[in-house]
Amino acid sequence: MLLAETAPEELPLLETYVAAIDTAEAGRSAGKGFGIPPEWVGAIGVASVFVGQVVYNLLGEWVKDTASEIAKKYVVDTGVEALKGWLNRPEKASLDKVLTADGQLAILKVVEEDAKKARLSRKDTEKLKKSVLKRLGIG
Protein backbone atom coordinates (compact mmCIF):
# COMPACT_ATOMS: atom_id res chain seq x y z
CA MET A 1 0.00 0.00 0.00
CA LEU A 2 1.44 3.33 -1.09
CA LEU A 3 0.26 5.15 2.05
CA ALA A 4 2.22 2.73 4.25
CA GLU A 5 5.40 3.70 2.43
CA THR A 6 4.94 7.45 2.17
CA ALA A 7 3.13 8.30 5.43
CA PRO A 8 2.79 5.26 7.70
CA GLU A 9 1.66 7.45 10.60
CA GLU A 10 -1.44 8.33 8.56
CA LEU A 11 -2.61 4.71 8.06
CA PRO A 12 -5.45 5.16 10.60
CA LEU A 13 -6.85 7.85 8.26
CA LEU A 14 -6.98 5.57 5.20
CA GLU A 15 -10.75 5.06 5.22
CA THR A 16 -11.31 8.78 5.75
CA TYR A 17 -9.02 9.61 2.83
CA VAL A 18 -10.69 7.09 0.53
CA ALA A 19 -14.13 8.41 1.44
CA ALA A 20 -13.03 11.98 0.74
CA ILE A 21 -11.51 11.29 -2.65
CA ASP A 22 -14.14 11.64 -5.31
CA THR A 23 -12.28 12.27 -8.54
CA ALA A 24 -15.43 12.71 -10.62
CA GLU A 25 -16.79 15.51 -8.43
CA ALA A 26 -13.41 17.05 -7.64
CA GLY A 27 -12.40 17.19 -11.29
CA ARG A 28 -8.99 15.88 -10.16
CA SER A 29 -8.38 19.19 -8.41
CA ALA A 30 -7.46 19.41 -4.76
CA GLY A 31 -9.50 21.56 -2.43
CA LYS A 32 -12.47 22.31 -4.69
CA GLY A 33 -16.01 21.14 -4.15
CA PHE A 34 -16.32 17.51 -3.20
CA GLY A 35 -13.24 15.42 -2.77
CA ILE A 36 -10.10 16.47 -0.95
CA PRO A 37 -10.83 19.06 1.76
CA PRO A 38 -8.68 22.21 1.58
CA GLU A 39 -6.99 21.42 4.91
CA TRP A 40 -5.54 18.24 3.38
CA VAL A 41 -3.95 20.07 0.46
CA GLY A 42 -0.21 19.48 0.61
CA ALA A 43 -0.51 16.33 2.74
CA ILE A 44 1.46 13.44 1.29
CA GLY A 45 -0.81 10.83 2.89
CA VAL A 46 -4.00 11.81 1.13
CA ALA A 47 -2.06 12.48 -2.08
CA SER A 48 -0.63 8.95 -1.87
CA VAL A 49 -4.09 7.41 -1.64
CA PHE A 50 -5.35 9.59 -4.50
CA VAL A 51 -2.36 8.87 -6.75
CA GLY A 52 -2.55 5.17 -5.95
CA GLN A 53 -6.16 5.07 -7.13
CA VAL A 54 -5.37 7.05 -10.27
CA VAL A 55 -2.39 4.86 -11.23
CA TYR A 56 -4.35 1.66 -10.56
CA ASN A 57 -7.21 2.91 -12.75
CA LEU A 58 -4.81 3.96 -15.51
CA LEU A 59 -3.19 0.52 -15.58
CA GLY A 60 -6.66 -1.03 -15.65
CA GLU A 61 -7.51 1.03 -18.74
CA TRP A 62 -4.36 -0.24 -20.46
CA VAL A 63 -5.40 -3.85 -19.78
CA LYS A 64 -8.97 -3.33 -21.04
CA ASP A 65 -7.84 -1.87 -24.32
CA THR A 66 -4.72 -3.85 -25.15
CA ALA A 67 -5.32 -3.38 -28.87
CA SER A 68 -5.08 0.41 -28.63
CA GLU A 69 -1.96 2.23 -29.74
CA ILE A 70 -1.56 3.67 -26.24
CA ALA A 71 -1.52 0.25 -24.60
CA LYS A 72 0.92 -1.04 -27.22
CA LYS A 73 3.17 1.93 -26.50
CA TYR A 74 3.07 1.46 -22.71
CA VAL A 75 2.95 -2.32 -22.16
CA VAL A 76 5.39 -4.80 -23.72
CA ASP A 77 3.87 -7.39 -26.05
CA THR A 78 4.16 -10.20 -23.54
CA GLY A 79 3.17 -8.09 -20.54
CA VAL A 80 -0.62 -7.99 -20.66
CA GLU A 81 -1.11 -11.14 -18.57
CA ALA A 82 1.49 -9.97 -16.05
CA LEU A 83 -0.28 -6.61 -15.80
CA LYS A 84 -3.59 -8.40 -15.20
CA GLY A 85 -1.91 -10.41 -12.46
CA TRP A 86 -0.59 -7.24 -10.85
CA LEU A 87 -4.03 -5.64 -10.91
CA ASN A 88 -5.46 -8.69 -9.13
CA ARG A 89 -2.70 -8.82 -6.50
CA PRO A 90 -0.53 -5.70 -6.58
CA GLU A 91 1.12 -6.60 -3.28
CA LYS A 92 2.40 -9.88 -4.74
CA ALA A 93 3.38 -8.96 -8.29
CA SER A 94 5.87 -6.73 -10.07
CA LEU A 95 5.62 -4.75 -13.28
CA ASP A 96 9.36 -4.95 -13.90
CA LYS A 97 9.84 -5.67 -17.62
CA VAL A 98 6.07 -5.29 -18.19
CA LEU A 99 5.86 -1.56 -18.76
CA THR A 100 7.84 0.09 -21.51
CA ALA A 101 9.99 3.13 -20.78
CA ASP A 102 7.14 5.24 -22.19
CA GLY A 103 4.71 3.48 -19.85
CA GLN A 104 6.86 4.25 -16.84
CA LEU A 105 7.18 7.88 -17.94
CA ALA A 106 3.41 8.13 -18.43
CA ILE A 107 2.83 6.94 -14.87
CA LEU A 108 5.43 9.33 -13.48
CA LYS A 109 3.80 12.17 -15.40
CA VAL A 110 0.43 11.37 -13.79
CA VAL A 111 2.08 11.26 -10.36
CA GLU A 112 3.85 14.56 -11.00
CA GLU A 113 0.67 16.28 -12.22
CA ASP A 114 -1.42 15.04 -9.30
CA ALA A 115 1.29 15.94 -6.79
CA LYS A 116 1.32 19.44 -8.24
CA LYS A 117 -2.47 19.69 -7.98
CA ALA A 118 -2.25 18.46 -4.38
CA ARG A 119 0.40 21.14 -3.79
CA LEU A 120 2.97 18.72 -2.46
CA SER A 121 6.46 19.98 -1.75
CA ARG A 122 9.22 18.98 -4.17
CA LYS A 123 10.62 16.63 -1.52
CA ASP A 124 7.24 14.93 -1.00
CA THR A 125 6.67 14.73 -4.75
CA GLU A 126 9.98 12.91 -5.20
CA LYS A 127 9.18 10.62 -2.27
CA LEU A 128 5.79 9.82 -3.82
CA LYS A 129 7.30 9.11 -7.25
CA LYS A 130 9.90 6.76 -5.75
CA SER A 131 7.20 4.99 -3.72
CA VAL A 132 4.99 4.53 -6.79
CA LEU A 133 7.86 2.98 -8.75
CA LYS A 134 8.74 0.75 -5.80
CA ARG A 135 5.09 -0.28 -5.41
CA LEU A 136 4.97 -1.20 -9.10
CA GLY A 137 8.15 -3.25 -8.67
CA ILE A 138 10.17 -1.12 -11.05
CA GLY A 139 12.02 1.19 -8.68
pLDDT tens-digit series, residues 74-123? 888 888 888 888 899 888 888 988 999 999 999 999 999 989 888 899 99
State residue 34's pLDDT score: 47
Amino acid type, 131: S
Per-residue confidence band for 38, with pLDDT thresholds at 50, 70 and 90:
low
State residue 36's pLDDT score: 59
Q: Is residue 19 predicted with pLDDT exceeding 80?
A: no
Higher pLDDT, 27 or 13: 13
**How far apart, in Å, are the Cα atoms of 25 and each of 22, 30, 35, 36?**
6, 11, 7, 10
Within its chain, how far is the Cα of 2 from the centroid? 8
Q: pTM score, two decimals?
A: 0.78
State residue 33's pLDDT score: 44
